[in-house]
Structure 1
Amino acid sequence: MTLTLGVNIDHIATIRQARRTVEPDPVAAAVLAELAGADGITAHLREDRRHIQDRDVRLLRQTVRTHLNLEMAATEEMAAIALDIKPDYITLVPERREEVTTEGGLDIVGQIGRIGEVVDKLQSANIPVSLFIDAEPAQIEASASLRAKFIELHTGKYADAKDDLSRKHELDFLAAGCEQALKAGLRVNAGHGLTYWNVYPVACLPGMEELNIGHTIISRAALVGIERAVREMKMAIRGEY
């Protein structure tokens, strides 16, 4: 199986919302990312609408030609939007209003009833669900018990590691989680904090299916353009960067 790249376009919308104007348009960014080789487009419709807006999601559904991964909190409001929009799949993520970015994985174990209801509702409508979790054995086991199609392993601790030993420890943790998930019948994606310089070891994990990457690509795109930024990330994933 060839590892694929999902490009998260949230921060195109962050730039737009800084001035509450109409540009840059994340829908246009998605088109250019796909032309450059993105295998999917990811967008997070947050409850506070700090970047991606409802209008963006509706237009992305009509525009994206690869696959659209909608990240969202496990709430009734978001489930209703997903059932209306029908993205190619949903990733349920934790969300706190005061956080700058997602700070960790979902606690499936502690919220198994509530999250299970959302998973059932969405998957009954033929929308596959991915659960964004830390690579902890109990969380993986709970995710499998909910019959989610995917998990997305939170790579933030790996990305933030300060030295080689810590980084190897976190990579081994992700590898063990990936192996456990595959044995439980889950498909495995990963993301958060991955950059051009640290992505390749995660891309090499056996069974890894897709990496969802946003901030580093959009940061580079501000300087060199989104098409070049996406192409260079595809190279980094292949170990050619």
Structure 2
Amino acid sequence: MQLLVNIDHIATLRNARGEGYPDPVEAAEVCEKAGAAGIVFHLRGDRRHIRDEDVYRLKKSVKGALDFEMAATEEMIEICNEIKPELCTLVPEGREELTTEGGLDMKKVYDDFNNRVFPKFKGTGIKMSLFLDPNPEDIKLAHKLGADAIELHTGVFANAQDEHSRKKELIRLKEGAELIHEFGMTVNAGHGLNLNNLPLLIEEVPHLHDISIGHALVSKAVFWGLDRTVKEYLRIMDQAYNE
């Protein structure tokens, strides 16, 4: 199990004033030096945070895993194939949403992904991941498509308003992770995770490989600094994993 830090909101802060700082590439370097296994970024169509120049600089700078989150548009496919990250995670993208609000609906996208998207990544060496809710039918279609990994959407768990809802979603995530593992795909997870809810996720959900954390980590770093914050997440992950 390893931590990948999403540095999108470092870029959000930079873009708020139109200045050149804080630099998301410098942030990525700090995170890796603190022990993060890699970096996640989402290049959106409207470039609201990460920009094209950031992508190319991150490719040169990041020493560990680089996870390119993107909508399956022709523009993004071309950029992704040019920089060749270790992992490409396909996500749904709504122009008006503040952040990704749920997993892909595989019934809607399967034919397009099978006929147009996945063939364009064949032979590139890029591992393909899909951002999904823990729905068995979506997971089965992802396996049929030939995905290498699935990133489970943990937002419903993270935002649960009561214990019953939280436990119900944890059961779904656990069963989803077991099915993903059974199919031979890598189990990743992300969205809404923080210092408080991460231990419970690790305790209850098996086979976790990459855990992607961005907003909560960057927010805490405003007070603690990136180095300390990354190290605290790593400490919690190690403690929870070994208990």
CA distance in 2, matches of 1:128, 1:158: 26
Structure 1's unaligned 5+ residue stretches are: none
- 2:192 is equivalent to residue 193 of structure 1: yes
The match for 2:131 is 132
- Displacement of 1:142 in angstroms is 0.5
Identical residues among aligned pairs (%): 47
- SS in structure 1 opposite 2:126? coil
The alpha-carbon deviation at position 70 of structure 1 amounts to 0.6
The 5 Å alignment of 1:60-75 reads 60-75=58-73
**Aligned 8 A contact 1:5 1:213 in 2:** yes
Q: Which residue is equivalent to 2:99? A: 101
Query: In 1, Cα distance between the equivalents of 2:210 and 2:48?
Result: 26
> Alignment partner of 1:238: what SS?
helix
* Amino acid in structure 2 at the alignment position of 1:5: L
Distance in 1 between the 2:15 and 2:27 partners? Answer: 15
User: In the alignment, what sits opposite 2:202?
Assistant: 203
Question: 1:178 and 2:177 equivalent?
Answer: yes
Q: Deviations for 1:146-192, whole angstroms, at most 9, x for unmatched residues?
A: 10100000000000011122111111100000011111121110000
What does residue 78 of structure 2 align with? 80
Letter in 1 for 2:113: I
Partner of 1:40: 38
Is the CA contact 1:108–1:115 (under 8 Å) kept in the aligned structure 2? no
- Contact 1:123/1:129 (<8 A) preserved: no
Please state how far the C-alpha of 1:222 moved relative to its aligned partner.
1.0
Q: Which amino acid aligns with 2:48?
A: R
CA shift, 1:235, in A, is: 1.5
SS in 2 for 1:124: coil
Runs of 4+ more than 3 Å apart: none
User: Is the Cα–Cα contact under 8 Å of residues 83 and 125 in structure 1 kept in the other structure?
Assistant: yes
> Please, which moves more after superposition, 134-143 or 120-129?
120-129
Deviates more, 1:202-211 or 1:143-152: 202-211
Give the deviation of 1:120 after TM superposition: 2.7
1:64 partner letter: V
* Alpha-carbon distance in 2 for matches of 1:171, 1:237: 17
Q: Which residue of 2 aligns with 1:8?
A: 6
Letter aligned with residue 143 of structure 1: A
AA partner of residue 72 (structure 1): M
Residue 89 of structure 1 contacts residue 128 of structure 1 at CA under 8 Å; is this kept in 2? yes
TM-score by length of 1: 0.96
- SS, match of residue 40 in structure 2: strand
CA RMSD of aligned residues (A): 1.0
SS at structure 2 position matched to 1:46:
coil
Following superposition of structure 1 onto structure 2, how do residues 88-167 of structure 1 map, counting pairs within 5 Å? 88-116=86-114, 117-167=116-166
| CA distance, structure 1, for counterparts of residue 185 and residue 17 of structure 2 | 41
Q: What are the ranges of 5 or more consecutive residues in structure 2 without an aligned counterpart?
A: none
1:118 is displaced (CA, Å) by: 1.4
Q: 1:217-238 CA distances to partner (integer Å, 9 max, x unpaired)?
A: 1001111110111001112223
Deviation string 1:44-85 (CA, Å, 9 cap, x unpaired) is 000100000000010000000011101000111100000111
Task: Tell me how far apart the structure 2 counterparts of residues 158 and 68 of structure 1 sit (CA, whole Å).
Answer: 25
* Amino acid in structure 2 at the alignment position of 1:165: H
Q: CA deviation at 1:124?
A: 2.6
